[in-house]
Structure 1
Amino acid sequence: MMHKRDFSGSNRLLLLSAFAVVIGGLSTLGAWLLLAMIRFFTNLFFYQTLSLAETSPADNTLGAWVIVVPALGGLIVGLMARYGSDKIRGHGIPEALEAILFGKSQMSAKVAVLKPLSSGVVIGSGGPFGAEGPVIMTGGAAASLLAQAFHLTSAERKALLVAGACAGMTAVFGTPLAAILLAVELLLFELRPRSLLPVALACTVAGFLRPLWAEAGPLFAMQTPPADTIALVSCVAAGLACGMLCTAMSSILYKVEDAFGRLPIHWMWWPALGGLVVGLGGWLEPRALGVGYDVIGDLLADELALQVVVALVLVKAVIWVVALGSGTSGGILAPLLMIGAGLGCVLGPWLPGGDVRLWALVCMAATLGGTMRAPLMAVVFAFELTWDTNALLPTILGCVVAYGFSVVAMPRSILTEKIARRGLHVYREYGVDPLERHFVSEVMTADAVTIPASTPVPEVQARYFGVGQKHRAYPVVDEDRLVGMIDRDDLPPDVVQDETQPVGELLQGIAAPHALAQETCRAVASRMAALGLQRLPVVESEQSQKLLGVVSRSDLLKPAQQLHEEESRRERFLRR
């Protein structure tokens, strides 16, 4: 019996794993540098001091002059994007997706340097963003650069790019498992050992290194009481509300982006104009400025009055949408966490089955999962941020309801809409390729027509390539051992005139492409496409070269036919 594996084996897993360990360390260093830059620019813009101390832009004493500060930061970033690299515009994840799916996972050194610098300027000047998006982009760029320095395939570079991106997210939030799920649900578009293992290793390394510069433990530690049975209904209501919020924010965001696109000025000036709106919002509600992790903590702890929450969430949502629509640089996770938690605080008093803190956490996770279309990541992310085991079940239900609503209501997410507007479609549904589930031995033609190697060339042309030709190419065998494949193009006129030459001599010294019976149909289909062949001989092993049959393009359609029947044929087995 032939040996078959659950996964494709590769001796390069060790190499990729070694790269992943290094990338985990580099991404952690990059996260620390970005957060240090944010602190530096916050002190510089709002307090006119050179310091790395932790300060909040909300405590500034600039008065109405605070309106100018985000505009100045936006102007600087606009100049950096125009004369440096326009890849630094946006929140990072769509750019990472584009590089993975359409750019062979290649990112430039400019992006690796300018992305964290531009994000530090924007967030430090009051931009309502989080550090995680730029860290994802920066970690991915650093990993891509490292991979480009070695002889790696595009698929291997993708695995390392995603490893760097997710390690950066782990370094910021201390959520390694959520980062791995982000890779699975959003970035990898596959689930293979060659990609999952590097991502998991890099995230684990980042998780172990994070306590060297940040406080260990969950970022927002909390423990809510167990939810009552009636909370089932409340979770559905909270999930639907978050789904509607996700849909509204995504729609408004791209309407704002379209409005900026109609302005009769160069896009370089857009972040400065958006910064004026941010500054105005910060003047009205100072705690809406900057990353706002402290505000998220207060919302989850239910320490803010309801009217304060409403004002804060409205201002944060408006300035975030305008700033992001202007094309500036910054992440989306922290703003979504704040807006979602604020929605939960507003709905909490009217939702039975749990206290306000529970609904703040559920809505925070549901808003994140519905907006990014990554519900599993959102559930685990909320758990790792709080370690609240009692909230796990309500969070799952709220997230999947919001996710389901957004899938039905929005054709594309906030992440893929930007890519689609560039003419590149991202299809995020994926499953096991039917060609991966079947082996060549299951679909090949075993009783294939063969040509003995001793057959004279004229006889071959007359019998096999004459008027009644059935196949484009035939395997040539010496007894049962493959010699090669021959088609009409291998029989030029000067050769055909030689009536005694056996056909086997034409194939001497020519490597014969072939398939092995234990190979997957996908591997063989890729080889046939690369070589431009319609048929391949199937042999028992590389050593014996014993011919077992022939696999053709039509044979490779058989698994797809079975899948089509499973997806489209409706059957009823139980009858009254």
Structure 2
Amino acid sequence: MTGASVPPPRPSAADPLPVSPGLGDVMTAARMPRKSVQLDKRVLLISTIAILLAATCALIAQWLTALIGIVTNFAFYGRWSTELTSPAGNHLGAWVILVPVVGGLIVGAMARWGSAAIRGHGIPEAMEQVLLNQSRIPPRITFLKPVSSAVAIGTGGPFGAEGPIIATGGALGSLIGQLMHVTAIERKTLLAAGAAAGMAAVFGSPISAVILAVELLLFELRPRSLIPVALAATTATGIRYAMVGSHAVFAMPQVAIPGAGALLFYVLLGAALGFISVGVTRAVYAVEDAFDRLPIHWMWWPALGGLAVGVVGFFAPLTLGVGYTNIEQIVSGGFALNALMFLCAMKFLSWVIALGSGTSGGTLAPLFTIGGALGAAAGMLAAPLLPRLGIDPRIAGLVGMAAMFAGASRAVLASIVFAFETTLQPAGLLPLLGGCSMAYLVSCLCMRQTIMTEKIARRGVRVPSEYAADYLDQVLVRDSCSRDLTVLNAADDLGSVRRWLASGDAKAQFLGYPVLDQTGNLRGIVTRRQLLDAQNADAKGVGELLPTAPIIVFEDNSLREAADHMVEEKVGSVAVVTREAPQKIVGVLTRGDLVTAHTRRLSEARDANRQIRVRQAIRERLRRTPDGG
């Protein structure tokens, strides 16, 4: 080829190429995608750590419960005891108003001079660290969170112990992950394992603890994370059984399987609770916004919230403290209708102000109390009006408490299973499924964020709300790669190639040009920019612009594997080969091909939306037609 000539037409990649004897050399030198495996042996190490972590979290749960008992007994009864006692039986009179105020002052001081991250119920903060900071929670949270929560709850805060324990377990898992220098994914797994272990240690609910971790912390359902978290929840529950027994946390009398009419009522009740959960969520953040507008430092807000807790607690002592006995009484039918409504209103008022003030507390137990009271009250009102339906107020209370949490947090599966695990009532499963699903539906339609995500969403954090199989993992390279290619020879003169490109005869191949050696074997891919920007172009051959080994993917690789490979190699295109003849190029895959692969998915979504619009138009036309024809 002379310097002024234009290279002759290039062979097509579809043309047969001679088989190279250097098959082993190509396979050894070529840079290929990592072999995709579902699990590797490292999961055994992470699972072992998760089990040890769970055992520690189970002990911490008992320690924190004892600490809450110590603070409660000292603050309300002036005695030293680790027994978890309700503050409702105190004889302090009006002085009870000052006890939560003192607790709020202590929490505010700990937040200001310790860590502001102890404010709130902990799960949104853990979600934020998972999404933005590779699951790194500051180590001091491991100590400050349980102590501040014990002070807040022990001095009458209307919160459950489960939120702080979940946050503490997650912080401990994150700390272990930071000390061991594991990967970000493994650290996230340990964080979720600690959180699940904390919840399981409090309620003896391992399955719902795992589901809650999946729905709110892991944002995935993969063996690499599910196995360690499940083993951690199992371990924590086993230790709880050994220490306090395996009885139901919220024991309730045996109930009968509901009939069709009663089931319909529970489903409609779930929908109603869905609407109420939206209002409750908005109320929490409205109160929080109101505190933000106060002209005083946020350190003093928990004391103001404590003042509200004390005033409400003076008139309604049952609102003080964790309130687990209240939940048990609700699902057991232990409250009269008037008492239920009063407890619901006062608990909501106390909790929403305290939580909005930024003190350290949880959301699960208050939401269960409020939702359970509403559900049981609705059951009591409906049962005599519709006697043939066989409505049981106890099941209504069970559905109400789970539906309230499902609507507020959208952890719908965790809510269903949790209500079953804590009551051990199989007859409630079907009503729970229907009621929680309806609450979830209403919440999704009426509210963009949840009680768990609103706070961090305001900071610009996008929280995943749907979990679906990776579409790119379902499409193979052979179905998306480009096969109509123009190729170059490694020995081609760069000057001639550049003049060929400038002449306009060259095919506009922005994905690059595959380069073959003299035997037709693949050497690599050179881009148009590399060809045009090369220095001393007339003195070099095309082959000198290539790396020492080609970057390839196989036809049977998934687009996800190919995309990850392209990111790791920092290239915009890769050569596609077959496993039978890896020296023979059959196509090129580019970033544009990865984008184009989503066309079918988007087309299916558009077709579904088009069908919905057609049906809506037909219904609208029928509605406007006088005779309905």
| Counterpart residue type for residue 126 of structure 1 | G
Please provide the CA RMSD for this pair. 2.5
Contact 1:483 1:507 in 2 (8 A): yes
Aligned to 1:80: 110
Alpha-carbon spacing, 1:159–1:548, altered in 2? closer, same or farther (3 Å): farther
Say yes or no: does 1:476 pair with 2:515: yes
| Counterpart residue type for residue 268 of structure 1 | M
Say yes or no: does 1:48 pair with 2:78: yes
- Report the 3-state secondary structure (helix = DSSP H, G, I; strand = E; otherwise coil) of the residue aligned with 1:569: helix
Query: Unaligned regions of 5+ residues in structure 2, if any?
Result: 1-32, 383-388, 615-629
2:605 maps to which of 553, 563, 567:
567
Aligned to 1:391: 428
State the Cα deviation string for residues 208-251 of structure 1 (Å, max 9, x = none).
12123222132123321121221133113311221122112111
2:166 maps to which of 128, 132, 136:
136
Say yes or no: does 1:234 pair with 2:265: yes
- Report the 3-state secondary structure (helix = DSSP H, G, I; strand = E; otherwise coil) of the residue aligned with 2:260: coil
Alpha-carbon spacing, 1:64–1:536, altered in 2? closer, same or farther (3 Å): same
Contact 1:313 1:338 in 2 (8 A): yes
Alpha-carbon spacing, 1:189–1:481, altered in 2? closer, same or farther (3 Å): farther
Distance 1:71 1:545 in 2: 76
Alpha-carbon spacing, 1:516–1:210, altered in 2? closer, same or farther (3 Å): farther
Give 1:74 deviation, angstroms: 0.8
Distance 2:551 2:129 in 1: 33
Alpha-carbon spacing, 1:424–1:77, altered in 2? closer, same or farther (3 Å): same
Contact 2:219 2:464 in 1 (8 A): no
- Report the 3-state secondary structure (helix = DSSP H, G, I; strand = E; otherwise coil) of the residue aligned with 1:109: coil
Alpha-carbon spacing, 1:483–1:217, altered in 2? closer, same or farther (3 Å): farther
| Counterpart residue type for residue 314 of structure 2 | W
Alignment of 1:107-146 (within 5 A): 107-146=137-176
Distance 1:164 1:546 in 2: 50
Say yes or no: does 1:205 pair with 2:235: yes
Query: Unaligned regions of 5+ residues in structure 1, if any?
Result: none
State the Cα deviation string for residues 129-158 of structure 1 (Å, max 9, x = none).
011111121111111111112343222222
Give 1:465 deviation, angstroms: 7.0
Aligned to 2:574: 536
Contact 1:107 1:145 in 2 (8 A): yes
1:459 maps to which of 488, 496, 507:
496
| Counterpart residue type for residue 496 of structure 1 | A
Say yes or no: does 1:216 pair with 2:239: no
- Report the 3-state secondary structure (helix = DSSP H, G, I; strand = E; otherwise coil) of the residue aligned with 1:213: helix
State the Cα deviation string for residues 95-132 of structure 1 (Å, max 9, x = none).
11111112211111111111111111101111000111
1:59 maps to which of 82, 85, 89:
89
Q: Which moved more, 1:318-327 or 1:240-249?
A: 240-249
Say yes or no: does 1:33 pair with 2:71: no
Distance 2:186 2:502 in 1: 44
Aligned to 1:496: 537
Aligned to 1:283: 314
Q: Which moved more, 1:21-30 or 1:125-134?
A: 21-30
Contact 2:492 2:541 in 1 (8 A): yes
Distance 1:526 1:271 in 2: 48
Distance 1:32 1:106 in 2: 25
- Report the 3-state secondary structure (helix = DSSP H, G, I; strand = E; otherwise coil) of the residue aligned with 2:523: strand
- Report the 3-state secondary structure (helix = DSSP H, G, I; strand = E; otherwise coil) of the residue aligned with 2:244: coil
- Report the 3-state secondary structure (helix = DSSP H, G, I; strand = E; otherwise coil) of the residue aligned with 1:497: helix
Distance 2:526 2:503 in 1: 14
Give 1:542 deviation, angstroms: 12
- Report the 3-state secondary structure (helix = DSSP H, G, I; strand = E; otherwise coil) of the residue aligned with 1:551: strand
Normalised to the residue count of structure 1, the TM-score between the two structures is 0.93
Distance 2:115 2:583 in 1: 54
1:557 maps to which of 578, 586, 595:
595
Aligned to 2:218: 188
Q: Which moved more, 1:192-201 or 1:253-262?
A: 192-201
Say yes or no: does 1:417 pair with 2:454: yes
Distance 2:331 2:401 in 1: 9
Say yes or no: does 1:256 pair with 2:294: no
Contact 2:251 2:332 in 1 (8 A): no
Q: Which moved more, 1:259-268 or 1:41-50?
A: 41-50
Alpha-carbon spacing, 1:397–1:494, altered in 2? closer, same or farther (3 Å): closer
Contact 1:7 1:192 in 2 (8 A): no
Aligned to 1:106: 136
Say yes or no: does 1:433 pair with 2:470: yes
State the Cα deviation string for residues 282-336 of structure 1 (Å, max 9, x = none).
1111111111111111111111222222211111110000000001111111111
Q: How many residues align?
A: 569
Say yes or no: does 1:172 pair with 2:202: yes
Aligned to 1:347: 378
Q: Which moved more, 1:203-212 or 1:311-320?
A: 203-212
Aligned to 2:22: none
Aligned to 1:267: 298
| Counterpart residue type for residue 243 of structure 1 | G
Give 1:556 deviation, angstroms: 0.7
Give 1:493 deviation, angstroms: 5.2
| Counterpart residue type for residue 224 of structure 2 | R
Contact 1:465 1:488 in 2 (8 A): no
Distance 1:207 1:466 in 2: 74
| Counterpart residue type for residue 355 of structure 1 | D
Contact 1:131 1:291 in 2 (8 A): yes
Distance 1:323 1:288 in 2: 12
Give 1:207 deviation, angstroms: 1.6
Distance 1:549 1:151 in 2: 41
Q: Which moved more, 1:169-178 or 1:432-441?
A: 432-441
Distance 1:470 1:369 in 2: 55
Alpha-carbon spacing, 1:558–1:374, altered in 2? closer, same or farther (3 Å): same
Say yes or no: does 1:525 pair with 2:555: no
Aligned to 1:485: 525
Alpha-carbon spacing, 1:546–1:138, altered in 2? closer, same or farther (3 Å): farther
Distance 2:545 2:403 in 1: 67
Q: Which moved more, 1:521-530 or 1:281-290?
A: 521-530
Contact 2:270 2:434 in 1 (8 A): yes
Give 1:410 deviation, angstroms: 1.4
Aligned to 1:311: 342
Give 1:41 deviation, angstroms: 1.1
Contact 1:58 1:287 in 2 (8 A): yes
Aligned to 2:385: none
1:382 maps to which of 414, 419, 424:
419
State the identity as a percent: 45
- Report the 3-state secondary structure (helix = DSSP H, G, I; strand = E; otherwise coil) of the residue aligned with 2:220: coil
Contact 2:111 2:299 in 1 (8 A): yes
Contact 1:186 1:428 in 2 (8 A): no
Give 1:187 deviation, angstroms: 2.0
State the Cα deviation string for residues 142-195 of structure 1 (Å, max 9, x = none).
111111123432222222211211111111111111111112222222222222
Contact 1:127 1:323 in 2 (8 A): yes
Distance 2:335 2:482 in 1: 72
Greater relative contact order: 1 or 2 (C-alpha under 8 angstroms, separation 6 or more)? 2
Alpha-carbon spacing, 1:489–1:139, altered in 2? closer, same or farther (3 Å): same
